[in-house]
Amino acid sequence: MTLTAPVVPQARIAPPSLTRPIIMTASALVLGAIFILLSPMDAETTFIFNLGDTFISIPDWIVPSRTAATGFAIAALVCAAIAWPINARRGSLFLPAFGLGVFLVMSFLAWVGADSLLPITGLLQGSLLLAVPLIFGAMAGVLSERAGVININIEGQLLVGAFLGAVVASLLNNAYLGLVAAPVAGALLGLLLAVFATRYFVDQVVVGVVLNVLAVGLTGFLYSRFLTEDPDLWNNPEVLPTIAIPVLSDIPILGPILFDQNVIVYLMYVVVTVVQIALFKTRWGLRLRSVGEYPEAADSVGIEVNRTRFRAVILAGAVAGLGGAFFTLGSVGAFGREMTAGNGFIALAAVIFGRWNPIGALAAALLFGFADNLQNVLSIIGSPIPSQFLLMLPYVVTILAVVGLVGRVRAPGADGIPFRKS
Amino acid sequence: MQLQLRGITKRFGDLVANDDISVTFEPGQIHALLGENGAGKSTLMNVLYGLLQPDAGQIVVDGEPLVFHSPAGAIAAGIGMVHQHFMLVPVFTVAENVELGAESVGPFGFLKTADAARAVERVSAEYRLAVDPNAVVEDLPVGIQQRVEIVKALTREAQCVILDEPTAVLTPQETDELLSIVRGLRDAGKTIVLITHKLREVREAADVITVIRRGRVVAESVSPQTSEVELASLMVGREVSLVVDKPSLEVGEPVLRVNQLSVYDTLDRAIVDDVSFDVRAGEVLCIAGVQGNGQSELVEALVGLHDRSEGRIDLGEKRIDGLSTKGILDLGVGYVPEDREHDGLVGSFSLAHNMVLDTIGESPWSRRGVINYGLINENGQNLIEQYDVRATNAQVAASTLSGGNKQKVVLAREMSRSLRLLIASQPTRGLDVGSIEFVHRQIIQARQSGVGVIVVSTELDEVYALADRILVMYAGRIAGVVTPDVGRDDLGLLMAGATTS
Ligand SMILES: Nc1ncnc2c1ncn2[C@@H]1O[C@H](COP(=O)(O)OP(=O)(O)OP(=O)(O)O)[C@@H](O)[C@H]1O
Ligand SMILES: [Mg+2]
């Protein structure tokens, strides 16, 4: 037998999948066409950018509805078109998908806002506010799931945070003390989850659900027993004041949205930054991630897996509890039965869409907040769409964005799996 | 460092995995631990490393009795372990894995991963263990992951290194490299414990051998000059024939025809690139090649486990590409997957249940949607006896079995159906000589009954023992199809990318 010398192999590469550019182009074409055709010929849409006092005030922008809808739809189509060559080069489609989403939303707004005033800056500010508890919840989810404990309990932790924050602030007549109490409540609920999950190895989803029921029942009971009996004493917390940060809050558009808020929002910036850095740059984060990915490996180098998980889950509870305070001390000013209304579960979705990354989860939570607020604003200004569709449409946009932005998601390797030694 | 185990006993429920084991490991020696699957070798090492707590017995380090409540204690005492199942976090880099648990940090606990990277480079240079500290572990071939494990132990200044079946997943070249590294460590005065089933390696590298059977020491201070046949019978407790009898070939019609099959990975690279071949009834086709040249993906595509494949596959008269895996198996294809832990068994299910995993919805195991547990358990018990699975009964969870016994369960399930084609991927990886003999016999028996057999193997010995034809894969393509009378050197060259002409 004769043998010829080996040649260095180069794997043949198949052409990249066209699914995403096709979906992007199709949605730009179909949705764009719908928005253009539905927008009235002779109406005008007014986009308002001013909110509060800023350095430079941007004049309102008044445009013929159909022209605007067409313009934005074309811009969306351009974004979709750009995606093709980038996809061919296997580059990241983040920017084109983001642009596509933004322009489609603008095109949509040009149609539904025909003959009315659209407060764009207000829309964004409201989105951020709706997103705040989601972001805290998502950070709690990231912390505990990165350590390998599924946290279905975020909803309950938000709720007890909201409750205790309101009660303490009301009793002691100081909103900031309420802000201290809220994370304690969340941490206590987290402690229960931690004990059952890491000491008794009970199924984490089941414990989470049970603890949610506990939180609803407990706060509901105390609410009707005390808070409704004597609301002035128990349920009358002052709302945290907004603190405008000098200079920064004067930046047009962004200033009032980001830097004219109450202290919980600023704490949110801090928490997201700290979680992101601590998780990926510190010993604490490395160990936390190792017990969530492959606890056997962590154990074999002498890391106490269940203790690490225990602490992470309690910390997560505290973060969610703090977020819960936003419902009472940051906005409404009083506790209401089951007032978290599923935010904890949406936060969990944000964790997954954000691929278990703090920054990703932040972006996902903001997107959900925007979807929610868009629907609020539209039902206020009165739009041509039946309200049922209004409730649906933001989520359609969200799903499209997710198709474009999220690729393969992979949970931490040992997420939800108890670690038992023999 | 001298390490003494005195009277170690470890029980799992009724099962005595280690029964009063005493053994001494001396510095500057490679001490081989031999024993069949389930003999209790890993258990003993896990006790020594603090991962398991012994029920009785003592660990004595340099004359001083110590108790390890967790691996931290063992690591502090200078013991490092390379585990049978790698203890590396797949998504971490090499440096992160190496520093984990012993991180050097700055203010606020900020990691100094650069320090870890330097430590990796230092150890790499000192012991000639080339690894890239910044590579992500899951992207590395198993041979390199193995090195990372060793580097990990060495950066912790381990004086005693335990290697639990380090060569089970290595290619012959990688094995040779590893053994020379281990010899280097020994010459540097370290205490080495080497667990392996490969007798050739033991004879080549060990200074002294201890044999364990059913949790007890059955032979100590065995000389490495002892013959392979003798070692084998010490391990298994009976005569083992290291070569299987293979009656002459009576081939029939092709049962499987593969035409221009390509398989792509998530980055759209062709891992299997335009491969065509036949398997005939009554022949064993061995797919040989160095790990990672597309063999695994090829057989996954054959049984419909790969969603990104193209090409035509026919089983007899029926086209099967595009069918579901269940549909393909129902046509009489037996599949023994490469990773029996994850793909072959459901760890938390009983053995009896695992034995009927793919047919449980069908008669006679269930009728009108009602499962007949009596019958399933009876079947499980029969198969356990027939295939000599070492387990107390058919009700125990599959995850508690040792590697070799798990493999027997998978084989028992797949071969107890009537088959036209049997696909076995690395069927004897990690098995002891006795089990290998058994598995090889089963495969040859399937061949005799007219089943077409595909065996994927990276072991040249196994390829020569079983093959009627050898298909060598390299970089996703067929480097050549040869008969088993080809020389070892030529086969090695083919596996390294030379092509026949
Ligand atoms: N966690 C456990 N629970 C119950 N039984 C176990 C457990 N771990 C091991 N065993 C049992 O203990 C015995 C010894 O197992 P061990 O893993 O030490 O074998 P081994 O000699 O390393 O075998 P192999 O060569 O297959 O790796 C086996 O019978 C196994 O089934
Ligand atoms: Mg073992």
Query: Contacts of residue B73 in chain A, CB cutoff 8 Å?
Result: 302
Q: B259 and B229, same structural domain?
A: no
Q: Which ligand has its closest atom nearest to the C-alpha of B18?
A: 1
Confirm whether B338 is domain-assigned: no
Q: What is the CA radius of gyration of chain B?
A: 24
> Is B337 among the domain residues?
no
Residue finishing a domain among A120, A147, A169: A120
Residue whose Cα lies nearest atom 2 of ligand 1: it is B400
Residue A201, domain member (yes or no): yes
Q: Are residues B411 and B422 in the same domain?
A: no
Domain finish residue from B203, B220, B236: B236
**A9, A294, A299: residue with CB nearest B475:** A9
What pLDDT score was predicted for residue A101? 87
Answer whether B282 contacts ligand 1 (Cβ < 6 A).
no
Q: Are residues B298 and B187 in the same domain?
A: no
**Based on the domain organization, do B48 and B80 belong to the same domain?**
yes
Count of domains in chain A? Answer: 2
Q: Are A171 and A310 in the same domain?
A: yes
Domain interval for residue B435: 244-332+418-501
Q: Does residue A197 form part of some domain?
A: yes
Give the end of a domain, one of A316, A341, A366. A366
Q: Are residues B385 and B501 in the same domain?
A: no
What local confidence, expressed as pLDDT, does residue A301 receive? Answer: 92
Task: Write the DSSP string, B186-254.
Answer: HHTT-EEEEE-S-HHHHHHH-SEEEEEETTEEEEEEE-TTS-HHHHHHHHHSS---SS---PPP---SE
Q: B497–A299: do the CB atoms touch at under 8 Å?
A: no
Nearest protein Cα to ligand 1, atom 7: B400
Q: B70 with B169, same domain?
A: yes
**A6 part of a folded domain:** no
Determine, yes or no, domain membership for A380: no
Same domain? B115 vs B261: no
State the residue range of the domain holding A86.
19-120
Whether residue B51 is contained in a domain is answered as yes
Task: Let me know whether A211 and A159 are in one domain.
Answer: yes
B91 part of a folded domain:
yes
Token pair, residue A307, equals 């203790």
**What is the model's pLDDT at position B431?**
86
Cα A54 to Cα A252: distance, rounded to the nearest angstrom:
6
* Minimal-distance CA residue of chain B relative to A16: B268
Interface of A with B (CB under 8 A): 1-7, 9, 11-17, 90, 281-284, 286-287, 289-290, 293-294, 296-304, 408, 413, 421-422
Give yes or no: residues A234 and A338 share one domain. yes
If asked whether residues B410 and B426 sit together in one domain, one would say no
Residues A167 and A67 in one domain: no
Contacting residues of A for B75, CB less than 8 Å apart: 301-302
Asked if A114 and A143 sit in the same domain, the reply is no
* pLDDT at A56 (0 to 100): 67
Residue B347: Cβ-neighbour burial (10 angstroms; 0-12, 13-18, 19+): middle
Domain C-terminal end among B236, B252, B279: B236
Question: What is the pLDDT, as a whole number, of residue B229?
Answer: 87
Q: Let me know if residue B339 belongs to a domain.
A: no
Give the distance, in angstroms, between the CA of residue B293 and the centroid of all CA atoms in the same chain: 18
Q: Do B220 and B157 share a domain, yes or no?
A: yes
Q: Are strands B208-213 and B30-35 parallel, antiparallel or unpaired?
A: parallel
The two tokens of residue B128 are 């000639």
Report yes or no on A398 lying in a domain.
no
> Which stretch of DSSP H or E encloses residue A117?
strand A117-119
**Residue B12 Cβ contacting ligand 1 at under 6 Å:** yes
Tell me the two tokens of residue B427.
Answer: 């069927």
Report whether residue B15 contacts ligand 1, using a CB cutoff of 6 Å: yes
Quick one: A248 and A293 in the same domain? yes
**What distance in Å separates the CA atoms of residue A150 and residue A39, rounded to the nearest whole number?**
45
**Is residue A230 in some structural domain?**
yes
Nearest CB to B110 within list A12, A281, A297: A281
Q: Do A312 and A199 have their domain in common?
A: yes
- Distance in angstroms (rounded) separating the CA atoms of residues A375 and A395: 10
* Residues B143 and B122 grouped into a single domain: yes
CATH number of the domain residue B157 falls in? 3.40.50.300
> Both A231 and A168 in a single domain?
yes
Do B285 and B310 fall within a single domain? yes
Distance from CA of B344 to the nearest CA of A (A): 19
B215 lines ligand 1 (CB under 6 A): no
B105 & B231 share domain: yes
Ligand 1 atom nearest B18 alpha carbon: 14
Q: Which residue CA neighbors atom 8 of ligand 1 most closely?
A: B400
C-alpha to C-alpha distance for B396 and A61, rounded to whole angstroms: 73
Residue B413 placed within a domain: yes
Looking at B188, B206, B236, the residue that finishes a domain is B236
Task: Tell me the best of B81, B400, B405, B429 to mutate to test the pocket of ligand 1, counting ligand atoms within 8 Å of each CB and taking the most.
Answer: B400
Cβ-defined contacts of B117-120 (< 8 Å, 24+): B119/B155, B120/B94, B120/B95, B120/B151, B120/B155
Query: What ipTM does this complex have?
Result: 0.86
What's at B191, amino acid-wise? Answer: T
What is the full per-residue pLDDT of chain B (501 aa) written as tens digits?
899 999 999 998 888 999 999 999 999 999 999 998 889 999 999 999 999 999 999 999 999 999 999 899 999 999 999 987 889 999 999 999 999 998 988 898 999 989 999 999 998 888 878 889 999 998 887 778 888 998 998 898 889 999 998 887 777 777 888 898 899 999 999 999 999 888 888 888 999 999 999 999 998 888 889 888 898 888 888 887 777 788 887 888 999 999 999 999 877 888 999 999 999 999 999 999 887 788 989 999 999 998 888 999 999 999 999 899 999 999 999 999 988 877 889 988 999 999 998 888 888 888 888 889 999 999 999 999 988 888 888 899 998 888 788 988 998 999 888 899 999 999 988 888 888 888 999 999 999 999 999 999 988 889 999 999 999 999 899 999 999 998 888 888 888 877 765
Q: How far apart are CA B290 and CA B294, in angstroms?
A: 9
Residues A40 and A164 in one domain: no
Mutate to test the interface with A, among B268, B273, B488 (most CBs of A within 10 A): B268
Among A97, A120, A143, the domain boundary falls at A120
The answer to whether position A385 is within a domain reads: no
Number of H helices, E strands in chain B: 16, 23
Q: Does A202 share its domain with A351?
A: yes
Q: How far is the CA of B290 from the centre of ligand 2 (A)?
A: 24
The owner of tokens 């057989």 is: B299
Which ranges in A282-386 belong to alpha helices (H)?
Answer: 283-293, 295-300, 305-325, 343-353, 358-381
Residue B150: its chain A contacts at CB < 8 A? none
For A46, list phi and psi in degrees, rounded to 5. Answer: -115, 120
- The total of structural domains in chain B comes to 3
A244 and A111 in a single domain? The answer is no
Q: How far is the CA of B404 from the centre of ligand 1 (A)?
A: 10
Within a domain: A178: yes
Domain identity same for A168 and A33: no
- Name the pairing type of β-strands B79-82 and B270-280: unpaired
Distance from residue A161's CA to the centre of ligand 1 (Å): 47
Query: DSSP string covering B91-148, please?
Result: TSBHHHHHHTTS--B-GGGBB-HHHHHHHHHHHHHHHT----TTSBGGGS-HHHHHHH
Q: Does the structure show a pLDDT above 90 at A141? A: yes
**CB under 8 Å to B105, separation ≥6 — which residues?**
A282, A283, B111, B112
